[in-house]
Amino acid sequence: MRADKVTLKEKTVLYIIMTGFGLLLFAPFVYMISISLATPATNAKMAFSLIPRDFHWQNYVKVFTDSDINLGRFLLNSVIISTFAILGQIFSSSLIAYGFARLRARGKKVLFMVVLSTMMIPAQVTMIPQFIIFRYLGWINTMLPLIVPNFFGGAFNIFLIRQFISRIPNTLDEAAKIDGLGYFGIYSRIILPLIKPIIATVAIFTFTWNWGWFMGPLIYLNDIEKMPLALGINILNSTSNVGATPDWNLVMVASMLLTIPMILLFFFGQKYMFEANITGANSSAK
């Protein structure tokens, strides 16, 4: 019998174990769904169950129609921040990565190492200096501190895209130069269409970070109308009376809206992440 051959019995045991772990990890999500469908009476008694016993779909309507909750505004703010963050990271990081991968310049490797070294700086170290800069610019209580820095690229994204571009043959650039294209023309017409998998990967990472970002909005935003969904959930979690029970069913509705987009984006975008990994592996093997 070959050592690498897996028997039917071994496969069955493996699938049973994996299914058990999958159900165990999925249980908190099911519990969150169950609480989001609970009635106000169930919420007051805190009589929640893993399997939904109530199907109070009005909770999903109330979070958008109740003016005191205003979840739709929180959701729109998160969409605005995440969308501009994705656009900024994709444009700036890909353009900078193209320069590091293709342009010939003295000290380019040293500058690239400096960019990578910024990943070792803890965010807590730069938090106060950044706040002082944004206060000087008059950006406090606006979305600009959450959006504008994305248009200066991110070291990790620059590294990913640069490594991907480095695997594209230089002969394509030379052929484009013969046809009269400049550096920006090569970047926009040749490089960008070929790096769609890594661009999609960067978009997924950027969206996941900004969609659930809590600390940045907490520092720079003061008005409730400007807060994203992550802060909105914290507002729903608070109560005006000491010892009162928060509306956990509404909090879980908001948590569902915070969680589902990230799951869907990863589900539909994982093929691009896989394609980027496979392409890079194949290119490295050549």
The average confidence (pLDDT) of the chain is: 87
pLDDT digits (tens, 9 = 90+) for 212-253: 999 999 999 999 889 999 998 888 887 555 556 788 888 999
> Are 223 and 81 members of one domain?
yes
Instruction: Kindly tell me if the per-residue pLDDT of 286 is higher than 50.
Output: no
> Are 83 and 98 members of one domain?
yes
Which whole-number Å values give the CA distances from 202 to 122, 145, 159, 185, in the listed order?
21, 20, 11, 22
Alpha helices in 221-247 (DSSP H): 229-237
Q: Which of 239, 246, 237, 215 is nearest to 228 (CA)?
A: 215
> Are 111 and 30 members of one domain?
no
pLDDT digits (tens, 9 = 90+) for 102-128: 888 888 999 999 999 999 998 889 999
> Are 166 and 34 members of one domain?
no
Please give the Cα distance from 282 to 286 (Å, whole number): 7
Confirm if 64 and 72 have CB atoms less than 8 A apart. Answer: yes
Task: Please count the structural domains in the chain.
Answer: 2
Q: What is the dihedral of CA 203, 124, 222, 150, to 10 degrees?
A: -30
Please give the Cα distance from 232 to 203 (Å, whole number): 24
Confirm whether 269 is domain-assigned: yes
| Res 54: pLDDT | 84
Confirm if 281 and 267 have CB atoms less than 8 A apart. Answer: no
> Are 144 and 261 members of one domain?
yes
Instruction: Kindly tell me if the per-residue pLDDT of 281 is higher than 50.
Output: no
Confidence of residue 210 (pLDDT cuts 50, 70, 90): very high
> Are 36 and 52 members of one domain?
yes
What SS3 string covers 102-170?
Answer: HCCCCCHHHHHHHHHHHHHCCHHHHHHHHHHHHHHHCCCCCCHHHHHHHHHCCHHHHHHHHHHHHCCCC
What is the pTM (predicted TM-score) of this model?
0.85
Confirm if 46 and 252 have CB atoms less than 8 A apart. Answer: no
pLDDT (average), residues 127-143? 94
Confirm if 52 and 34 have CB atoms less than 8 A apart. Answer: yes
Confirm whether 268 is domain-assigned: yes
> Are 31 and 76 members of one domain?
no
Tallying the residues shown for the chain, one arrives at: 286
Confirm whether 228 is domain-assigned: yes
Give the domain extent around 127: 63-285
